Amino acid sequence: MGIGYRIFVRPMLRFQDSEKAHSRALKMLRLLSSNILSRPVLSLLYKPRKLLPIECFGTTYKHPFGNAAGLDKRAEALRGWDALGLSFIEIGGVTEHEQDGNPKPRMFRASTSKALVNRMGFNHPGSQKVALTLERHFSTTGPPTVPLWANLGKSKRTELELAPSDYAASMDRLWKFCDVFVINVSSPNTPNLRELQHDDALESIVQACQKINRKYADSTNSKPKPLLVKIAPDLNDVQLKAVVQTARDAGCDGIVATNTTIERPSSYPANEEKVFSQTGGMSGSPLTTRSTSMIHKIYAMTDGKWPIVGVGGISTAEEAWEKIGAGATLIQAYSGFVFEGASITKSIVHGLDKKLREHGFATLNEAVGFSHRDTS
């Protein structure tokens, strides 16, 4: 779909509501991957032919690239993401309670700048319904062939002081289906959610989720599942250091850096003023440098001993390589899928394979954090 998508499909998106276009694309992916004839075609066209195995969270991922949260909130197209060759699939943000999210329109596209602004507000059917969806999927077609991640968000109606039980309830319902859990305390579109990134609030949420984690690990005689925290790119250095320290001390196994930003580019085409003046979180190319800088700082703060999942403005192998050099072990994209199409996975994986050989690294694990090393 690469060149064809950019020439024919992407220009047509300008004339569609962004959220409706997203829903249609997701439905198409689900339908194509459900058909016994079209599913192999998806894999033939878009699945990477290269394997770039990388160790993270005690698991060998076939390459470092997966989708970011928000692309498949309800776990509607698991077979589709699998067919496209992702190394892991993230669903959500999942909330404990069903909620509509913020009023529409709430997603806006700046095509020239390759940016999205959204204020979705965790629109979601609730974790109980998603658990039933996963139950049906697993019983009829089996689990995905790659790790399934769940991004957990707080329900809007839940008071901040009750947030730990809200996150824990969703984890409780999804534990048997998902392999990795991400605590999302950084979306800018739920009132006061980012206050939960700090100190006792974050510690309480992590501890509540780890209690669920240990309960099921003990009852199934298995290991607890990796628990990560997803942070905002708008933290200053003092705040970032405090969040990292709190999350590590509370028992988080890693960090996702970063969510969308409330900042806007310093310059952009005049015809995109309407997009960038909207309230909400911005993702895409204008976020690339900021998120990479955050990854670099976290890697330095933790001496490279705490896994980082890099996300924010990745649409090319070069941008993915920069994230890995800054310290990311795994990487994700959201806007990249919107602006580059389904071919992004193959493009990035094949490009990373070339980068690995060019720089003389034997494995991707060896390359992680290379920008911190003295190469003189």
CATH pick for 2-372 out of 3.40.50.620, 3.40.50.720, 3.40.366.10, 3.20.20.70: 3.20.20.70
pLDDT above 50 for 7: no
- Give the separation between CA 53 and CA 59, rounded to whole angstroms: 10
0.85 exceeded by pTM: yes
Buried b (16+ CB within 10 A) or exposed e, 50-59: eebebebbee
Q: What is the pLDDT at residue 376? A: 42
Q: What are the residue numbers of the active site?
A: 187
- 371 CB contacts (<8 Å, ≥6 apart)? 296, 322, 325, 326, 327
What's the whole-number mean pLDDT along residues 198-218? 97
Q: What is the mean pLDDT of the chain?
A: 95
pLDDT above 60 for 92: yes
Strands 148-152 and 89-94: parallel
pLDDT in tens, 54-65: 999 999 999 999
pLDDT above 70 for 157: yes
Q: Which of 267, 266, 206, 265 is nearest to 231 (CA)?
A: 206
pLDDT above 80 for 8: no
- Give the separation between CA 324 and CA 351, rounded to whole angstroms: 13
Q: What is the pLDDT at residue 169? A: 98
Q: What is the pLDDT at residue 1? A: 46
What's the whole-number mean pLDDT along residues 206-216? 98
Strands 148-152 and 65-67: unpaired
pLDDT above 60 for 86: yes
- 141 CB contacts (<8 Å, ≥6 apart)? 79
Q: What is the pLDDT at residue 185? A: 97
Q: What is the pLDDT at residue 16? A: 80
pLDDT above 90 for 6: no
* The CA-based dihedral angle spanning residues 154, 157, 161, 162, taken in that order and rounded to the nearest 10 degrees: -70
